Amino acid sequence: MTSKMSHTQPPSLFLPSLRNLAAISPSDVSRGITYLRSLYTPRIRGSKILGRITPDGSTISWPSSSPEDLDALVGDEFERGYSIRWLTYLAHNATQIQASAEEIAVIIDSAAAVLANCGGPASAGVLIRTIVFPASGIEVTLQDIPLDNGMASVGAQTWGGAFVLAEMIATHPEEFQLHKKSQSTLRVLELGSGTGLVGITVAKIANHLDLPTRVVCTDAYPPALHNLATNISANFDNISGTLSVESLALDWSIMANKPLTALFPPPLDIAFDIILGADIIYEAEHALWIRKVLTRFLRRNGLFHLLVPLRPTHAAESGTIEMVFIADGQGPEILSKETILCAPEKPSEEEIVYAYYRIGWQ
């Protein structure tokens, strides 16, 4: 997975000169801002896949989507400084551009946002990410909003696990039932959607393949749900008649305590073919709640695709997955497990490891 950027020229060569702003078109200015956003939007830790280790122990390599020269360019202090000066001048002098007041306001806001990105994650407020999956050509635009001191805002950030699962889906859609036309609509539920990257990716691929699909992205926290709805709207201004994408509040703890005979309004009135979850188990109770949710909402021939980071700090919580999803005849169970290896932020650090489970009924 890569940020969208079709150029690897350094900013000092790519960006238009601002000496005569009145002679520069708004589109050229916007192109420069987009270019810098793709360079300097903070990277997501643990999102660069190196390979997959299958259940039989064999390793499948993964094509690199982040050229080394691009990484070097991002780390070039001269180019970063040049970009900061370019954006600063633009933000202060944009009124000289021959454009409408609305266009100028957008340019100023965009330049200010990218300027914050240039200072790194600690400086950035709202982030706009444009992500392209090279294998499929699918493009997703996401908004991340700043974290506050509570758990409610965690879902408004894009985490590495969501990047990894989304790239797996985009690279091998056939492994996620996104390859054959059916008379019935494919029903997809995402748990703990956060910014919606995984669900939006599925919907974009289904739309590209002209597969009748309904995608329901869910979260429990209001800040995340509001941001999720914003991201869905940003990516689907023109949806085909065979595709439906929506956001919905879903609290696993409440759902787990309802009787199996309880009825729910659409879109939860019918079971789902595919359920997805990335980086959603970080409390001891989560696996228990999620299994009860699956027992209610996963079709008998459906699959739950779960990706979790193997963090030393949450070893006990992630360990509950294999304790809960067992072959006891009481609900869905683990059908297979793979290990996903991702590159660390620094060469001196250890690889980041995820466990990928396929869970279903036997």
In Å, how far from its chain's centre is CA 349?
Answer: 24
Q: Give this prediction's pTM.
A: 0.81
pLDDT of residue 65: 56
pLDDT of residue 29: 95
pLDDT of residue 125: 64
Q: Which helix (H) or strand (E) holds 360?
A: strand 352-360
Q: Which amino acid is at 322?
A: E
Residues in the chain: 362
Helix %, strand %, coil % of the chain (to 5): 40, 25, 35
Q: Are 199 and 247 in contact (CB under 8 A)?
A: no
- Here the tokens at position 350 are 């250890």
The DSSP symbol for 49 reads E
The CATH number given to 146-360 is: 3.40.50.150
With 0-12 / 13-18 / 19 or more C-beta atoms within 10 angstroms meaning exposed / middle / buried, residue 137 is: exposed
pLDDT of residue 185: 95
Tell me the DSSP string of 50-106: EEEE-TTS-EEE----S-HHHHHHHT-HHHHHHHHHHHHHHHHHGGGSSS-HHHHHH
Nearest to 15 by CA among 1, 26, 31: 31
**Triad 281, 314, 290: Cα angle to 5°:** 15
From first to last of the 362 residues of the chain, give the pLDDT tens digit.
444 444 478 999 999 999 899 999 999 999 999 888 888 877 766 678 889 998 888 888 787 655 556 667 877 888 888 999 999 999 999 999 999 999 999 999 889 888 877 765 544 567 788 888 888 889 999 988 875 545 444 557 788 899 999 999 999 999 999 987 777 899 999 999 999 999 999 999 999 999 999 999 999 999 899 999 999 999 998 777 889 999 999 999 999 999 988 999 999 999 999 999 999 998 889 999 999 999 999 999 999 999 999 877 667 777 899 999 999 999 999 999 999 999 887 777 888 899 999 999 99
The DSSP symbol for 359 reads E
- Here the tokens at position 295 are 């027992």
Q: Which amino acid is at 162?
A: A
pLDDT of residue 1: 43
State whether the Cα torsion 148-153-357-204 is positive or negative: negative
In angstroms and rounded to an integer, the radius of gyration of the C-alpha atoms of the chain is 22
Nearest to 130 by CA among 112, 110, 150: 110
Domain ranges of the chain: 2-44+63-118, 146-360
What does the buried/exposed string (b/e) look like for 14-32 if buried means 16 or more CB atoms within 10 Å of the residue's CB? bbeebeebeebebeebbeb
Question: Distance between CA atoms of 80 and 12, rounded to whole angstroms?
Answer: 9
- Here the tokens at position 6 are 């079709």
In Å, how far from its chain's centre is CA 241?
Answer: 24
Residue in this structure with the two tokens 């360990």, named with its chain if needed: 319
DSSP bridge pairs for 248: 218
Q: Up-side HSE of residue 35: CA atoms within 13 Å toward CB?
A: 24
Question: Distance between CA atoms of 49 and 167, rounded to whole angstroms?
Answer: 9
Neighbouring residues of 208: CB distance < 8 A, sequence distance ≥ 6: 136, 137, 138
Question: Distance between CA atoms of 79 and 16, rounded to whole angstroms?
Answer: 14
Neighbouring residues of 268: CB distance < 8 A, sequence distance ≥ 6: 216, 248, 250, 297
The DSSP symbol for 210 reads T
Q: Which helix (H) or strand (E) holds 107?
A: helix 101-118
The DSSP symbol for 175 reads G
pLDDT of residue 46: 67
